Structures are given as structure tokens and as C-alpha cells.
Amino acid sequence: MTIRKAILPVAGLGTRFLPATKAMPKEMLTVVDRPLIQHVVDEAKQAGIEHFIFVTGRNKGVIEDHFDRQYELETTLAGKNRKADLDALAKDMPEAGQASFTRQQSPLGLGHAVWCAREIVGNEPFAVLLPDVLVQAPRGCLAQMMDAYNSLGDKANIIAVEEVPQDRVHMYGIVGQGKAKGNAFEITQMIEKPKQEEAPSNLSITGRYILQPEIFDVLATQERGAGGEIQLTDAMIRLAQQQPFYGVKFSGTSYDCGSKIGFLTANVAYALDRPDIAPAFREALKKLVN
């Protein structure tokens, strides 16, 4: 079955970026000139996603406004004959009915945020993209996962993974690597933040998932785990007893934009990938570093 819908959990408070996120959602922080959330929606569009489900919280209305028309702005740009800007805004706009917004009233974790979208997703497989993880690649991470999904069958669950240093495995969800299946592999274990000596590999879960709708039934009865929250990894471990899970080592570079260093690094990397500003920016960086 084709993956048409994607959940984007955007209810987090973004406390690691205070005071910047006191009045502005962290998902609207910009990497170069595009908000984090727009970069992730771009990736989902490239993979063929048709319906974007934003799980929001209080004070997140600006995200909904970002994916709506701004008539005063459009009128001003049209009056100044700034057609390129108008075209860029139109390109980023979802079609009517392609964006849905639902509220996560309590901060009960990623698993709970995914569960909050159950009625909109319905009984079909779906993708989950964490907006504070950017993956820079010529072919988007989710598109690479779609390639694997299309070759594995309709009941496959897929997780994007990447290698991390062995001395940092305790900071991530880690998977065990089994038999290869094309450009994917069977996942034999999932452990949230294992001790270094207990980690089954150094392959970390990277914020991109393709999941079957049965995960909602599991999440409905999932007990709270680490941090007193309903953890998506815990629910996936339970679902893995009934359905196969596969890992995809994507081609590309990920940036954890939930951390200051990751966010700043992403800005540099994305700026250097822009032909219109890269030459001048590279020279500015050289002067600054020297």
C-alpha cells in the first residue's frame, strides 16, 4: 500500500533554545531562510507524501499560519511585481485539504503524539518525521525508505538508522542488525539508550519511520517509560513481536537541530549547499575562522 500520510510531531516546548523559543516554536527556527518544519515537509513531499498531519501544542498557531495563505503579503508582493517570491510561496503551500492539525494537550512523549493522530491517519501505513532532525541528501531520507518499503511488502515497518561512535551509543535508541533485505536489513533488537557494553550495534534510530496502523492499538495500552512519557520505541518493540521491522542505512548527513551545535552546523552545511550564497558565505567563514 502506498504511503500517503505523514505525522509531524511539533508539540514540544523547545526549552533547549530558550529564550528564542519563549514565543516562537522551535520548528520555526530557520536553517538559512527556511524554517525547520519547511525543510522536513520538503523531504516528505519529495517522497510522495500527500497529507501532512501536524500534532501541535499550545502556542504553535504560527506553524498553521505558515502553511496557510497570507493575503496581505501576497498583495504587497504582487504590487511590487516580485513574481519570484510569489512563486516560491505558492510552491511551498500545501494544496487544499493536504494539511491537518490536531492537538496534543499534554506533553506525554513521542508515542503519545503519534497516537493523537490516529483518527486522521486511519487504517493505513504512514510515515513519521521528527522536525528537529534534518537529513541533507540529494535523494531525501524518506524517499530512500520508500524504496525499501516498496520492495519489502505491505506489512513492513521501517526505521532510518545511521552509525554513531561506539562511545555514544548510550545517547540513542540502538537497533540490532540482522539479515540483509535489498538495501534494508532485518532489525533483531531495539534498545533505548543502552549501556555501551550492552548495545547490539552502533546503529542509531534517526527520527524517520514508516509504521503500520497496528501501532496505534499498541500505543493505546503502552505504559509510560523513560522520563514518565509514552515512548514510541517501547511500542515498536511490542509491535515487532507481531510484524517485521527493517532498518535502512540512508545515504546523507543528519543534523540534530534540537541541539545548539547541530542547529548551527546545519545552517553552515545548508548555506554551503546553496549556489546563490555559498561563495560569499565561504569567504566570510574563512575570515571569521582566521
| pLDDT tens, residue order, the chain (290 aa) | 689 999 999 988 888 888 988 888 999 999 999 999 999 999 999 999 999 999 998 888 899 888 888 888 888 988 888 988 888 888 888 888 899 999 998 878 899 999 999 999 999 999 999 999 999 998 999 999 999 999 887 789 999 999 999 888 888 889 999 999 888 999 998 888 888 888 899 999 999 999 999 999 999 887 777 767 788 988 999 999 999 999 999 999 999 999 999 999 999 999 999 999 999 999 999 999 88
Please name the residues in contact with 218: beta carbons below 8 A apart, sequence gap of 6 or more: 235, 238, 239
Tell me if the bond preceding 244 is cis, omega within 30° of 0. no
Task: Put residue 58 in one of left, alpha, beta given phi > 0 → left and psi -120 to 50 → alpha.
Answer: beta
Domains defined along the chain, listed by start: 5-289 (3.90.550.10)
In angstroms, how far is CA 160 from the centroid of its own chain? 10
In the block, cell 509504521 appears at 211
**What pLDDT shows up at residue 275?**
94
- β-strand 253-256 against 173-181: which pairing, if any? unpaired
Give Cα separations from 203 to 39, 41, 130, 167, 196 (angstroms): 24, 25, 18, 12, 12
Give Cα separations from 233 to 110, 193, 222 (angstroms): 9, 11, 11
What pTM does this model have? Answer: 0.92
- CB neighbour class for 269 (10 Å; exposed up to 12, middle 13-18, buried from 19): middle
